[in-house]
Structure 1
Amino acid sequence: MPDDGPSRPATVPDFDAVRAEFALPAEFPADVLAEAARAAAVAATARTGGRRDATDVDLVTIDPPGSKDLDQAVGIRARRGGYRVHYAIADLAAVVVPGGPLDVEVRRRGQTMYLPDGSVPLHPPVLSEGAASLLPDGPRPAVLWTIDLDDAGETVDISVERALVRSRGRLDYGGVQADLDAGRPLPDAIALLPAVGRLRRELAVARGAVELELPEQEVVPDGAGGWTVRARQRVDLDGWNAEISLLTGTSAATLMLGAGVGVLRTLPAPDPDAVARLRALAAALGVGWPADVTPARFLAGLPLDTPRALALCRAATSLLRGAGYAVFDGPAAPPPVDPGHGGIGAPYAHVTAPLRRLVDRFGTEICLAVAAGEDPADWVREALPTLPSLMAASDTVAGKVDRACVDRTEAVLFADRIGQEVEVIVLRDEPGEVYLPQPPVLARCRGPLSAGDRVLARVAVADPATGTVEFAVG
């Protein structure tokens, strides 16, 4: 028999099988790499001509440790009557030739796919981790948003332009949060981030934004050559930083809707019947929900560490269904009747992650044109009708890839524990779904269940080959 090489240890999830299952590309074609190298050289020379010199603006990036594909740099300062938010975004459209091999390949990929042992990037690393990334190693071409807020955090002015920027530092979430927890001063660029983040979050809740604080699973090295699952720690900084991105996305939607051309990320407002069912569950679990309190306010006030709260947050996912993309361009293709995003409580557009997501490059170009009083370029308008299907397809694959990696890791962790009993939290009784806090596992469960209860369940199925994990009660 032919030698297929060393076998994969049974204790290590097979992430290569995930890549194969979803036909993820292993590498970039040669002509794409060649064009990316040329684009990197263009990025190095795109520092002159037609760009505002904004290297005096105090900016830093905040990302997971070790990240090199840095889409955004943020800086916030006080102004008379409020705050000025600067948000610099990597300028991909300045270097990607429309219709060229790189553009075609990026449209095929849709977005970066993240796996525990390495990503499948949207753009070649020479761009995404090099010339186009907002690394703190010198001036970089960027798209600079300047958004003025009043003292309550409401938007009073929006501008966007191509600029030359300089990041003062590459920060990570954990390090910044540690400084906050220890009472150490933050860098000047983000000293006001906690204040502005809190204001923006309160405004979001007030306008009905629904945010679910369910534990987010992630696969990480276990320190012994294998992998394990942990619940990603959501710290205050995560939420505050996200609010700046959301502020920019809602600002982009404002510009697009005002001009009658754009591409929005949409999500219907919560269905009244779904809200009624959630209220009924809250009552059944004995969790008070006053009649005059909105779902957004109720969910924002739930504790994050009780079985009942987890069950309610899991059930609240029914409020956030039907996400999509809406394209509009002039009277013949007007904006949707409801252009809003139910999870945000306002119209919203993707523009802040062009290194990692296809649609952002096009949305950004529309906003630059609108801000300059110009029509969007023909190549942008021609692409608009194709973006919803391209993004929907890549969103689906990205979600399945992430879930498959978690599922396979869970199955490996429990493969030798068949028949053992563990205490789980019942999230749903029909279909049965339970959550094991340590290690954090979300799985189907057979047997009589009641949402919000803690019960003993035995490990019934754990198949590393398929990623199937099931528990059983009774």
Structure 2
Amino acid sequence: MIRTGRADVSFDGIRTEFGLPSSFDAAVLAEAETAVSRSPGDRPDLTSLPLVTIDPPGAKDLDQALCVLKSGDGFVVHYAIADLGLFVTPGGPLDLEVRRRGQTLYLPDGNVPLHPTVLSEGAASLLPGVVRPAVLWTFTCGADGVPTAVEVRRAMVRSTAQFDYESVQKSFDAGDPHPSVAALAEFGPLRRALARERGAIELQLPEQEIESDGEGWQLVTRPRAEVDSWNAEISLMTGMAAASIMLEARVGVLRTLPDPDAAAVASLRKSAAALKVAWPADLSPGAFLAGLDASTPEALALFTDATRLLRGAGYSAFNGSVPELVTHAGVAAPYTHVTAPLRRLVDRFATEVCLAVTAGQELPSWLAEALPQLPSLMGSSDSLASKVERASLDQVEAWVLAGRVGREFDAVVLRSGDNEAEVFVSAPPILAKCSGKRLPEGESIRVRLAEADPVERRVRFEAVR
């Protein structure tokens, strides 16, 4: 682990550059405070369900709580989602502000939350041991993991415990998982197998994370544990079910991604051949990528090249007629966002559509009027979030490497151009540009640090010949 060596460095420059808000207006905070005491109305008491949450350590904005149970040869999955619809008045100051923000932005020294923390980390969060209003999805699934019945309704729930991914993975490894998630070890792989059969595309690129240990900032990479993947499948299943409800009713908002074009697939096949990685002709890109050993240099290069397969993501709102594109190539099915309303704007509206449709009700006017605005709002928000994340990583990379110009490192060439390549340095974990003509993709090389500028947030290496 490599530290910056300073605990006082901040990311205020990034906040200023992107115009990030530092607080909420008084009217927004006042509405949030009032909403805390709002009555949840008459809804079923399902606090007896042994729900648990799985989130990063120390998280307080808990969107989801789950319980996966065996039922004969099949499964019953309960998935509770924070009910922001109770707390946000359509057209009020809070609603207008969260539409402007779009989503929670994550910086290493503090987040820019979508909602005031009195809601996102308090009254709306599915914290352990307290009764909370929620939108409860219940899936009855067969032995193959495919839902045979789906129910969505408002309810009162109570999470019995808050876990993090590492501790849950350790419990599975020790053979002693919590009863509420024990069946996840069987259900999760079934859902992943279904995803591969659909042709879902998953890129297992190393994820850089920024941490503070009290002495400064450090860069780390964390391998994705099986529990991460299993848990993600529950969210994906819910998003697919929500999309099906919307498409049947011909109203809603989808998360879309066009299928990869033939040129991108041909380019990936060419890269695989150059790296001497076998790709059977009848294997889809998703199935091919799923079979790679993510720890190898060849796989890292191919995953990077495969990012070309996943271009053109967006949102599609509709009311009365179904849009031409309704699928998400990464999921290989129709899909929408409904599982993170504390942190993402569109989830609240998509959830309200599902609740109205399944109850046989017309969409309220405020919801119908909001749908056409969501693609633009979320597109802008996603773009900003991506830029803030990249700027934060660039900043820490430059801090970590400052003063080390001229030193050499081991790297893997991820993507090569005529005069410049993208490389991954494993220690410290850095993704950066590297000068050099037609460097060999998928091969380990030696690189020299040519530049590390914390002011410009720029890092550049050069190949050692």
Q: Does 1:329 align with 2:319?
A: yes
For residues 459 and 348 of structure 1, the distance between their equivalents in structure 2, rounded to whole angstroms, comes to 43
Tell me what 1:357 maps to: 344
Aligned pair in 2 of structure 1 residues 145, 461: CA closer, same or farther (>3 Å)? same
Which of the residues 197, 203, 212 maps onto 1:206? 197
- Asked whether the equivalents of residues 12 and 412 of structure 1 are also in contact (C-alpha less than 8 Å), the reply is no
Q: Does 1:286 align with 2:276?
A: yes
- Asked whether the equivalents of residues 307 and 454 of structure 1 are also in contact (C-alpha less than 8 Å), the reply is yes
Which of the residues 411, 416, 438 maps onto 2:427? 438
Opposite residue 354 of structure 2, the aligned amino acid is C
By how many angstroms is 1:180 displaced? Answer: 1.5
CA RMSD of aligned residues (A): 1.4
Which secondary structure state, in structure 2, belongs to the residue aligned with residue 197 of structure 1?
A: helix
Q: Does 1:447 align with 2:436?
A: yes
Q: Does 1:16 align with 2:18?
A: no
The percentage of aligned residue pairs carrying the same residue is 55
Which of the residues 146, 154, 158 maps onto 2:138? 146
Which of the residues 28, 50, 75 maps onto 1:58? 50
Tell me what 1:28 maps to: 24
Which of the residues 75, 93, 101 maps onto 2:85? 93
Q: Does 1:414 align with 2:401?
A: yes
Tell me what 1:76 maps to: 68
Q: Does 1:298 align with 2:298?
A: no
By how many angstroms is 1:12 displaced? Answer: 5.9
Q: Does 1:402 align with 2:393?
A: no
Write the mapping of 1:453-464 to structure 2, written as runs, cut at 5 A. 453-464=443-454
Tell me what 1:232 maps to: 222
By how many angstroms is 1:437 displaced? Answer: 0.8
For residues 87 and 449 of structure 2, the distance between their equivalents in structure 1, rounded to whole angstroms, comes to 52
For residues 388 and 190 of structure 1, the distance between their equivalents in structure 2, rounded to whole angstroms, comes to 35
By how many angstroms is 1:134 displaced? Answer: 0.7
Tell me what 1:3 maps to: none
Tell me what 1:110 maps to: 102
- Asked whether the equivalents of residues 171 and 178 of structure 2 are also in contact (C-alpha less than 8 Å), the reply is no
For residues 247 and 128 of structure 1, the distance between their equivalents in structure 2, rounded to whole angstroms, comes to 24
Which of the residues 205, 208, 219 maps onto 2:210? 219
For residues 310 and 274 of structure 1, the distance between their equivalents in structure 2, rounded to whole angstroms, comes to 17
- Asked whether the equivalents of residues 79 and 136 of structure 2 are also in contact (C-alpha less than 8 Å), the reply is yes
Aligned pair in 2 of structure 1 residues 329, 229: CA closer, same or farther (>3 Å)? same
Tell me what 1:124 maps to: 116
For residues 9 and 444 of structure 1, the distance between their equivalents in structure 2, rounded to whole angstroms, comes to 24
For residues 50 and 220 of structure 2, the distance between their equivalents in structure 1, rounded to whole angstroms, comes to 35
Tell me what 2:158 maps to: 166
For residues 368 and 222 of structure 2, the distance between their equivalents in structure 1, rounded to whole angstroms, comes to 39
Aligned pair in 2 of structure 1 residues 426, 11: CA closer, same or farther (>3 Å)? farther
Opposite residue 439 of structure 1, the aligned amino acid is P
Structure 1 alignment gaps of length 5 or more: 1-7
Aligned pair in 2 of structure 1 residues 70, 197: CA closer, same or farther (>3 Å)? same
- Please give the per-residue CA displacement for 1:172-227, whole angstroms capped at 9, x wherever unaligned: 111111111222x2222111111111100000011010000000011111x35110
- Asked whether the equivalents of residues 77 and 83 of structure 1 are also in contact (C-alpha less than 8 Å), the reply is yes
- Asked whether the equivalents of residues 213 and 304 of structure 1 are also in contact (C-alpha less than 8 Å), the reply is yes
- Asked whether the equivalents of residues 6 and 217 of structure 2 are also in contact (C-alpha less than 8 Å), the reply is no
Opposite residue 461 of structure 2, the aligned amino acid is F
Tell me what 1:375 maps to: 362
- Please give the per-residue CA displacement for 1:113-154, whole angstroms capped at 9, x wherever unaligned: 011111110000000000000112322110000111110011
- Asked whether the equivalents of residues 5 and 215 of structure 2 are also in contact (C-alpha less than 8 Å), the reply is no
Opposite residue 363 of structure 2, the aligned amino acid is P
Opposite residue 363 of structure 1, the aligned amino acid is A
Opposite residue 406 of structure 1, the aligned amino acid is L
Which of the residues 128, 151, 156 maps onto 1:136? 128
Which secondary structure state, in structure 2, belongs to the residue aligned with residue 399 of structure 1?
A: helix
By how many angstroms is 1:76 displaced? Answer: 1.2
- Asked whether the equivalents of residues 11 and 413 of structure 1 are also in contact (C-alpha less than 8 Å), the reply is no
By how many angstroms is 1:421 displaced? Answer: 1.4
Tell me what 1:186 maps to: 177
Structure 2 alignment gaps of length 5 or more: none
Tell me what 1:269 maps to: 259
- Please give the per-residue CA displacement for 1:274-326, whole angstroms capped at 9, x wherever unaligned: 11110011001111111111111110110011111100110010000000000
Q: Does 1:426 align with 2:417?
A: no
By how many angstroms is 1:424 displaced? Answer: 0.8
Opposite residue 22 of structure 1, the aligned amino acid is F
By how many angstroms is 1:273 displaced? Answer: 1.4
- Asked whether the equivalents of residues 217 and 396 of structure 2 are also in contact (C-alpha less than 8 Å), the reply is yes
Tell me what 2:147 maps to: 155
Which secondary structure state, in structure 1, belongs to the residue aligned with residue 366 of structure 2?
A: helix
- Asked whether the equivalents of residues 52 and 180 of structure 2 are also in contact (C-alpha less than 8 Å), the reply is yes
Tell me what 1:4 maps to: none
For residues 39 and 165 of structure 1, the distance between their equivalents in structure 2, rounded to whole angstroms, comes to 18
By how many angstroms is 1:9 displaced? Answer: 8.3
- Asked whether the equivalents of residues 13 and 408 of structure 1 are also in contact (C-alpha less than 8 Å), the reply is no
- Please give the per-residue CA displacement for 1:210-265, whole angstroms capped at 9, x wherever unaligned: 000000011111x3511011112311110000000000000000000000000000
- After superposing the two structures, state which structure 1 stretch, 238-247 or 153-162, moved more: 153-162
- Asked whether the equivalents of residues 60 and 170 of structure 1 are also in contact (C-alpha less than 8 Å), the reply is yes
- Asked whether the equivalents of residues 52 and 65 of structure 2 are also in contact (C-alpha less than 8 Å), the reply is yes
For residues 224 and 36 of structure 1, the distance between their equivalents in structure 2, rounded to whole angstroms, comes to 33
Q: What TM-score does the superposition give when structure 2 sets the normalisation length? A: 0.96
- Asked whether the equivalents of residues 193 and 240 of structure 1 are also in contact (C-alpha less than 8 Å), the reply is yes
By how many angstroms is 1:335 displaced? Answer: 2.1
